[in-house]
Structure 1
């Protein structure tokens, strides 16, 4: 069943999310066996499974950890490394709100191999720009750590995988470092949430997310918990959810695939899952039977937007037919955007600017968005212009 509603919002500032609403997919389970090899095959068998890129070295360790390795020569002598954990703020208990994100911060404040600030010093020494949300992010559903390392020095490349291993299982969570980091996260909350865009976003998200687990587990969390959570509560989340069967290691770069695969196997095969493993639940967003609307304002707002949103269940991307639908959708938004851009260049344009596009809101929901930024008093004219172009496309298509 489709899940949808139209959301009209008169805003004051382009909304900037605290955590990205367009989320990367979590580490997938074992890929389906490839049955489509060419475009002709895809056209002949649209329901056949899309193949995994044969250039990717894929494996699953006995403990359940998944890895993907691919040789890529551009840029030369560089590699991208990722540790993806299939757990985020949705997995927090009531006394842990915000601790998935807080734990992400703590990974840079001491591990088994890198005490205190030694990890940050290492990252900076190899040319990695360090900063919150540059090397990692926490969303509702996942936490992902990212490294960009040189490969012309075998020792540095190996150290990169040491870092991933330490993040996976060996953060020290030193009490002094925890107490220092509390203020950092509270300041991040202040800068992102206590603004016009942050306050209005917090009005809008409940309309999208409804009475769901998502609305109860914003990644930034509860600042009282951030200020006061004991170490053992933070560690409980770490031990419960940072486990091999919920992790994937991804490596792509200018390196020898066999050597990199061996580095992964050597470091991650020894990790174990907890004996009292907690079930990983998937959460949903409620359906809506009627149009919803919201007027969001703030004393500090500086501009006005009218936004039309359409929500539907996220579709998997596993078959040739589903991939075709994805491409058709992208073409639709691109052509509609061109029409709106053309209108926007006119002297009497009904909006300052307009945008159309689709993205993942959260894993179970896709969001198609049509936005018009307008001058004061121009909300209805901007909305009518967007509706007109949507209806024109529905009736007549594109030439």
Structure 2
């Protein structure tokens, strides 16, 4: 049976080979070579030679020497790289190593809800003041100011001007508030329920209906099958402020967060600003 299976595999490869480009054909030849060349383990089991070369694969992707990387005393990491194009602009990111996979059973969709609440009031920016301020200096909500929540991470994105240190510092202050100072005003939470529910409703597509069927198969016995970031309308519409704040307290921790700054900046000066602002969290 093994010989028949092997011959069928070779036949399939041959059929593909005859209709592919020269570049693809060379790739297939490599695959066939790996299939054919085997070695024998002490217990008599044939092992493809490709398995022997795994030790030569580096464990980690090497860091770019152009990126300044550091860790604050509280465990928060930072990444800074100078890039002068476009001029007088910088991209800021707050990366949180937590998403819907970290939700409790009564928090389905709360990771995403927290992301929404980050734009609805914080320690230094009341309610809609954050968006209003950023739009007043030319930052557009969507292209320059946005965020997303996935299974494993939540990322906040902000583009700021660097021709004014006041504006750049204000951008870092926004990241600081997202990391440690979201207000979670009960009134704003109630207002945001409709926004998130509307987003959930907009995703009721054929693709999502298919996902409900194949995710439990693809991710069998895994939380990935049960933790779609959009959550459920039942929890979104009834979750209490305490439950939302519990997720923020549990997972928005400095040891699970990183700051990234890439743009037309002075690296050393930016590093000092990050240390001064974020280390006390």
TM-score, structure 1 normalization: 0.55
Q: Does 1:228 align with 2:254?
A: no
Q: For residue 304 of structure 1, what is the aligned residue in structure 2?
A: none
Please point out which of 214, 223, 231 is paired with 2:224.
214
Measure how far apart 1:138 and its partner are. 0.4
Q: For residue 155 of structure 2, what is the aligned residue in structure 1?
A: 144
Q: For residue 91 of structure 2, what is the aligned residue in structure 1?
A: 80
Q: For 2:121, what is the secondary structure of its paired residue?
A: coil
Q: For residue 281 of structure 1, what is the aligned residue in structure 2?
A: none
Please point out which of 128, 131, 139 is paired with 1:128.
139
Contact 2:144 2:158 in 1 (8 A): no
Q: For 1:135, what is the secondary structure of its paired residue?
A: strand
Q: Does 1:155 align with 2:166?
A: yes
CA distance in 1 between counterparts of 2:143 and 2:64 reads 32
- Across the aligned residues of Structure 1 and Structure 2, the Cα RMSD in angstroms comes to 1.8
Please point out which of 120, 123, 127 is paired with 1:112.
123
Identify the structure with the greater helix proportion. 2
Please point out which of 193, 199, 206 is paired with 1:182.
193
- Deviation string 1:224-277 (CA, Å, 9 cap, x unpaired) is 111011111100000110010000000000011111111111111011xxxxxx
CA distance in 1 between counterparts of 2:113 and 2:65 reads 38
Q: For 2:81, what is the secondary structure of its paired residue?
A: strand
Count matched residues.
226
Residues 1:132 and 1:238: Cα distance change in structure 2 (over 3 Å): farther
- The within-5 A match list for 1:16-55 is 47=58, 51-55=62-66
**Runs ≥4 residues deviating over 3 A:** 45-51, 131-134
Measure how far apart 1:198 and its partner are. 2.2
Measure how far apart 1:49 and its partner are. 6.0
Measure how far apart 1:129 and its partner are. 2.2
CA distance in 2 between counterparts of 1:189 and 1:107 reads 18
CA distance in 1 between counterparts of 2:224 and 2:241 reads 25
Residues 1:132 and 1:68: Cα distance change in structure 2 (over 3 Å): closer
Measure how far apart 1:140 and its partner are. 0.7
Unaligned runs of at least 5 residues, structure 2: 1-55
Q: For 2:92, what is the secondary structure of its paired residue?
A: strand
Contact 2:145 2:159 in 1 (8 A): no
Q: For residue 3 of structure 1, what is the aligned residue in structure 2?
A: none
Measure how far apart 1:62 and its partner are. 1.0
Q: For residue 168 of structure 1, what is the aligned residue in structure 2?
A: 179
Q: Does 1:204 align with 2:214?
A: yes
CA distance in 2 between counterparts of 1:73 and 1:259 reads 15
Q: For 1:69, what is the secondary structure of its paired residue?
A: strand
Moved more, 135-144 or 195-204: 195-204
Residues 1:49 and 1:86: Cα distance change in structure 2 (over 3 Å): closer
Contact 2:89 2:263 in 1 (8 A): yes
Residues 1:182 and 1:131: Cα distance change in structure 2 (over 3 Å): farther
- The within-5 A match list for 1:351-366 is none
Please point out which of 38, 50, 71 is paired with 2:82.
71
Structure label with greater radius of gyration: 2
Residues 1:128 and 1:222: Cα distance change in structure 2 (over 3 Å): same
CA distance in 1 between counterparts of 2:190 and 2:149 reads 20
CA distance in 1 between counterparts of 2:254 and 2:58 reads 32
CA distance in 1 between counterparts of 2:91 and 2:111 reads 23
- Deviation string 1:282-309 (CA, Å, 9 cap, x unpaired) is xxxxxxxxxxxxxxxxxxxxxxxxxxxx
Residues 1:163 and 1:142: Cα distance change in structure 2 (over 3 Å): same
Moved more, 108-117 or 256-265: 256-265
Residues 1:46 and 1:187: Cα distance change in structure 2 (over 3 Å): closer
